[in-house]
Structure 1
Amino acid sequence: MRLITTPVLSLSLVLCLAAPSLADVKSALDAHILPAFARFAESADALAETAGADCRPEAMAEAYHTAFDAWIAVSDLRIGPSETGALSVAFWPDGRGSTPRALAQLIAEEDPVAFDLKAYAEVSIAARGLFALDMLMFDPEFFDYAPQSYGCTLAATIAADLALQAHALEAAWSGPFADTLQSAGADGNTAFLTPDEALRAIYTQILTSLEFTADTRLGLPMGTFDQPRPLRAEARRSGRSLRNVVLAAEAAHGLASALADWPLPETQAALARLQVAAARITDPAFQDVTDPQARLRAEVLQQAVRGLQAAIEEEIGAQLGIAPGFNAQDGD
């Protein structure tokens, strides 16, 4: 079957903020985060509808890629509802191979849970979400299922379950958690004791996203020079690995631009350099990183991702009084 090509770690920060406006948080929500969750829910609905009509991989592929594109815009937010809610939408990295095992067991047993959408929410996260679909639709071990087969039903159920998850995240972000962020410092808000903490939380997500892209989305398949690991590339089966890198970087840039109310010329230039580096990659699934020249191009892209992170730290972090320091995930 032809693959269709179209894509929280530690972070060193000390956060000493200089009384920024809470309007920055509202802008980040209104201009980037909430519209992105709405797009994801809409595209997940379209995928579920497509799968309900025809659950074969070739019929679902376009809607799948559209939903995955929409997810990447918010995939690296891991606060509030997304702290746990994102895990079953996108279970990756999967270093133990849990997803193929979970799918294979469901199919071998023809587990009736695939016929019960409500019950499917209780299955292992390895058998839910975008990466379960990626495996089911694009891996040779699974993708040759016939119409009306158990595998076809399973694909439709996973897509429908994904749509439910997308709407749950959208509702939680647009309602309770958006209110929590925007009421930071108010009486009764125990999540964010000051407006600074809310802004700090969003800013940290931007940088952790870029760190995850450099170290994991690129770092995992690159491995080492002597031992590259191309089979660890994110969504390699559907040829999305490079696309996910670029979309995640663009999402981080978009959120940074929404958070800041001043020009970011260095950040914009860094994103442009990243896009140029990405355009030089010849294998969208990073399967050619065993070749020294291809690996070099991946290294240049990785450096460009880190360059974007550095530009954001300089143009936003420095302006807000945020300087490099200890690991922000330590909670100190």
Structure 2
Amino acid sequence: MRCLLLSLPLAAMSFAALGGGVARADVRAAIRDQILPGYAALTDASRKLAEQGAQDCTVAAMQPEWNAAFDAWLDVAYLRLGPVEEEGRALAFAFWPDPKAIGRRQLQALKETADRDHITPEAMSQGSIATRGFFGMYHLLYGEMAQDDAFSCALRQAQAEDLAQMAMATEIGWQNGFADQLLNPGAQGKTRYLDEAEARQALYTQLISGLEFNKDQRLGRPLGSFDRPRPERAEMIEAGRSAENLDRSLQSLERFAQALAQGMGPIPNTTAAFARAHELVADLEDPVFAGVASPGERLRVEILQQQIALTVEAVDQELGPLLGVSAGFNAADGD
């Protein structure tokens, strides 16, 4: 397995070189303070994961770096625009929900054939998105497929290398053009967004979509219905990360909201709504939302879900008018 080439020092590139003087403060702040540093951190963490795999690809050795890289992913996972949407990267990074367990089944089939021609980084990048990225690796690091046989080890190496290359390509895409599209909308050669309003709308929609994903997927899936709760549908149960993923995502979204508000005006109701959501997550003391099957504990999860809905309302009523935008479509719907 070849070592991943060191990432270009993209994060060190001068923000001014991207033309950051045209768009309003909200767009500039979001890109400068959240988006570009977030993707730089993802590139760095993914590279470290690949390097760890090249040195020692056992489950115990790779789990810490995988967790660190997934934390970095959660800081930008709500962004479903630009380079991450190219070549199916968003789903390749994180194929979840996976209600039919496609990824698990396809990885199991790969292990049964033990065909090493299918587990090079190049082959991985051309293969099923369900076997790639963070969730592809997750299946081989937690649960029944978390084994240290030679084939599993090589498969994790290929996944990590593929992941690192995707992260670098996404960061490069932002640095080499897409950030400029948002910072200089309507300028010559910048036709993706026609004016500042469209650029603000695009970023604001990512914020709303990220909150809705947490409400409908990270909480909605395990909640199921009162008559049929589905705790087994929670995200990353084997890793014990279900509530942690939710809270990390909420923290990232709050920082993004604050960046969008920078220079535009205060958003006290939005800040308070996020703070209450964080408190409710901490008060659960239920890392995998197993309590949804118990009426008393289920109510606590439902209250948390309602609080995220209230956070969406606060953002829509407070930040939206400051930016002169509305929620728009949900990018996760593919509309």
Taking structure 2 as the reference length, the TM-score comes to 0.87
Amino acid at match of 1:143: A
| 2: CA distance, partners of 1:243 / 1:112 | 35
Q: Is the 8 A contact 2:208 2:330 kept in 1?
A: no
Aligned residue number for residue 238 of structure 2? 237
Amino acid at match of 2:143: D
Superposition map of 1:27-176 within 5 A: 27-83=29-85, 84-140=88-144, 142-146=145-149, 149-176=150-177
Q: Deviations over 1:7-41 (max 9, x none)?
A: xxxxxxxxxxxxx9533211110010010000011
The reply to whether residue 320 of structure 1 matches residue 317 of structure 2 is no
| 1: CA distance, partners of 2:109 / 2:76 | 31
Aligned residue number for residue 257 of structure 2? 256
Which segments of 5 or more consecutive residues in structure 1 lack a partner in the other structure? 1-19
Bigger relative contact order, structure 1 or 2 (CA pairs below 8 A, ≥6 apart): 1
The reply to whether residue 293 of structure 1 matches residue 296 of structure 2 is yes
Q: Secondary structure at the match of 1:316?
A: helix
Q: Deviations over 1:50-98 (max 9, x none)?
A: 1211111111111111111110011111111122321101011111211
Amino acid at match of 1:316: L
Aligned residues: CA RMSD: 2.0
Q: Is the 8 A contact 1:113 1:120 kept in 2?
A: no
Amino acid at match of 1:67: A
Amino acid at match of 2:221: L
Q: Deviations over 1:302-326 (max 9, x none)?
A: 12212222221222112233357x7
Which segment drifts farther, 309-318 or 85-94?
A: 309-318
Q: Is the 8 A contact 1:114 1:153 kept in 2?
A: no
Amino acid at match of 1:79: L
| 1: CA distance, partners of 2:119 / 2:138 | 20
The verdict on how the C-alpha distance between 1:53 and 1:327 changes in structure 2, with shifts beyond 3 A counting, is closer
Taking structure 1 as the reference length, the TM-score comes to 0.88
| 2: CA distance, partners of 1:323 / 1:196 | 11
The reply to whether residue 201 of structure 1 matches residue 202 of structure 2 is yes
Aligned residue number for residue 188 of structure 1? 189
The verdict on how the C-alpha distance between 1:331 and 1:100 changes in structure 2, with shifts beyond 3 A counting, is closer
Aligned residue number for residue 284 of structure 1? 287
Amino acid at match of 2:320: G
Q: Is the 8 A contact 1:74 1:251 kept in 2?
A: yes
Q: Is the 8 A contact 1:134 1:237 kept in 2?
A: no
Between structures 1 and 2, the one with greater helix share: 2
Aligned residue number for residue 219 of structure 1? 220
The reply to whether residue 272 of structure 1 matches residue 267 of structure 2 is no
Aligned positions, number: 309
Amino acid at match of 1:69: D
Q: Deviations over 1:214-238 (max 9, x none)?
A: 0111101110011111221122221
Q: CA deviation at 1:288?
A: 2.9
| 1: CA distance, partners of 2:74 / 2:334 | 26
| 2: CA distance, partners of 1:281 / 1:208 | 24
Identity over the aligned pairs, expressed in percent?
40
Q: Secondary structure at the match of 1:280?
A: helix
Q: Is the 8 A contact 2:121 2:162 kept in 1?
A: yes
Q: Secondary structure at the match of 2:123?
A: helix
Amino acid at match of 1:183: N
Q: Secondary structure at the match of 1:185?
A: coil
| 2: CA distance, partners of 1:321 / 1:331 | 24
Q: Is the 8 A contact 1:80 1:177 kept in 2?
A: yes
Q: Is the 8 A contact 1:115 1:157 kept in 2?
A: yes
Q: Deviations over 1:243-302 (max 9, x none)?
A: 111111111111111111232222221111111100122321223321112211111211
The verdict on how the C-alpha distance between 1:102 and 1:154 changes in structure 2, with shifts beyond 3 A counting, is same
Q: CA deviation at 1:328?
A: 6.1
Q: Is the 8 A contact 1:117 1:160 kept in 2?
A: yes
